[in-house]
Amino acid sequence: MRRALLLAAMLVLGSCKVQLTPEGLAKTWDAITDAQKDLTPENEYWTGRSVATNLLARHEYRYHDADALQDGRLEGATAYVSAVGGVLAASAMETTRKGDRPAPIAGWHFTIIESDTINAFAAPGGWVFVTTAAIEAAQSEDELAAVLAHEIAHVVRGHALGSIKKGRWANVAKTALDTSVQLDEQSLGELTQVFEGAMDDMIDGILVKGYSKDTEYEADRVGLEIMAHAGYDPQALVRYLKTLDAEQGGGGGGFQATHPKASDRISKIQGKAQELGKVEIPQVRFARFKAAVEEL
């Protein structure tokens, strides 16, 4: 029986490099649960809704064009930011890397938070938030695109999901993750406990402590590629970071609290931005950006 199970495990795991001794089977289980912890797009969808709700709650649910959104319409500056974000999302879907999550189950959503703090953040499942102050700090559509592309990159690369501490899963029984058995009350309780902890981990990463510097630099690099493929000027990210550097200096909340120093980010991405080329920005992009800012 055990032999048959070992063979079955070998067939299932294909080229996975695990030792299929009884000890190895324990590792096999770990491999399975590790993959499970990577979470499917459906898991990401249900996670993202709660993360987004928590992020909105921390801003007292003050978001722009709220009445229109409640009626199911994209209007004003929100419609404009969503159009810029939509072009970038399409670009992200066309420039995927291994392990990317470019196509959220319920699509992408771009919401403007009413706040005087320059910030932008994203939740799993395609939720991107940008503050009114962050939009006003931009000088052009391309600079706004740089902010949004950075956030899209966080989602596509699964950075928030990756910030969930692995230890959260330690007390979950194997059967709770087994789709072949009915989910019982105890398993549901264990999974909900992990979910609670995961919310804390992700909100810490997104809004409180920030991600690691390397994670932020990766979001900058990937964001640049998304921008360039969409036809936006990659140099716009450098220009926006220079504005942040000049305006915020060494202090302040928002971006400053959760991101590496703007000057460090500039030095990390300047070469790549140049390599991707400079784009002559048509006047119409400046004009429609200005019109959208006036609607804020």
Partner 1 sequence: MQRVRTSKQWFAVIAAGLALAGAVAVAAPKTGSTVTVRVMSAKVMKSPKFIGPAAGSVSRGDQLTIAEIKGDWYRVTGAKTGWINRTSVVEGKVALSSSPGGGGAASRDEVELAGRGFTPDVEEEYRGKHPDLDFSHVEAIEKTGIDLSELGAFVDEGGLGGDQ
Kindly identify the residues of this chain, within the stretch 172-191, that bind partner 1 according to CB under 8 A. 174-181, 183, 188-189, 191
Of 106-114, 210-218, 248-256, 267-275, which part binds partner 1 (CB under 8 A)?
106-114
- Given the complex with partner 1, which of 41 and 249 has the nearer CB atom? 41
**Residue 24 CB, nearest distance to partner 1 (Å)?**
12
Q: Per rule CB under 8 A, is residue 288 in the interface with partner 1?
A: yes
Of 45-53, 201-209, 247-255, 268-276, which part binds partner 1 (CB under 8 A)?
45-53
Q: Which of 18, 20, 49, 218 binds partner 1 (CB under 8 A)?
A: 49
Structure tokens that stand for 247 in this block: 């305006």
Q: Which of residues 57-96 bind partner 1 (CB under 8 A)?
A: 57, 61, 63, 69-70, 72-74, 82-83, 85-87, 89-91, 93-94, 96
Contact predicate 106/41, CB 8 Å: no
**Residue 149 CB, nearest distance to partner 1 (Å)?**
13
Q: Per rule CB under 8 A, is residue 277 in the interface with partner 1?
A: no
Q: Per rule CB under 8 A, is residue 291 in the interface with partner 1?
A: no
**Residue 9 CB, nearest distance to partner 1 (Å)?**
6
Contact predicate 48/104, CB 8 Å: yes
**Residue 77 CB, nearest distance to partner 1 (Å)?**
14
Q: How many residues bind partner 1 (CB under 8 A)?
A: 87
Q: Work out the end-to-end distance of the chain between its first and last CA atoms, rounded to an integer number of angstroms.
A: 68
Q: Which of residues 212-251 bind partner 1 (CB under 8 A)?
A: 228-232
**Residue 170 CB, nearest distance to partner 1 (Å)?**
13
SS3 assignment for the chain: CHHHHHHHHHHHHCCCCCCCCHHHHHHHHHHHHHHHHCCCHHHHHHHHHHHHHHHHHCCCCCECCHHHHHCCCCCHHHHHHHHHHHHHHHHHHHCCCCCCCCCCCCCCEEEEECCCCCCEEEECCCEEEEEHHHHHHCCCHHHHHHHHHHHHHHHHCCHHHHCCCHHHHCCCCHHHHCCCCCCCHHHHHHHHHHHHHHHHHHHHHHHHCCCCHHHHHHHHHHHHHHHHHHCCCCHHHHHHHHHHHHHHCCCCCCHHHHCCCHHHHHHHHHHHHHHCCCCCCCHHHHHHHHHHHHCC
- Given the complex with partner 1, which of 84 and 266 has the nearer CB atom? 84
Of 12-20, 132-140, 240-248, 263-271, which part binds partner 1 (CB under 8 A)?
12-20
Q: Per rule CB under 8 A, is residue 115 in the interface with partner 1?
A: no
- Given the complex with partner 1, which of 108 and 255 has the nearer CB atom? 108
Q: How far apart are CA 119 and CA 263, in angstroms?
A: 17
Q: Per rule CB under 8 A, is residue 293 in the interface with partner 1?
A: no
Q: How far apart are CA 126 and CA 44, in angstroms?
A: 9
- Given the complex with partner 1, which of 182 and 271 has the nearer CB atom? 182
* Cβ neighbours of residue 193 closer than 8 Å, sequence gap 6 or more: 171
Q: Per rule CB under 8 A, is residue 1 in the interface with partner 1?
A: yes
**Residue 284 CB, nearest distance to partner 1 (Å)?**
6
Q: Which of 28, 140, 163, 256 binds partner 1 (CB under 8 A)?
A: 28
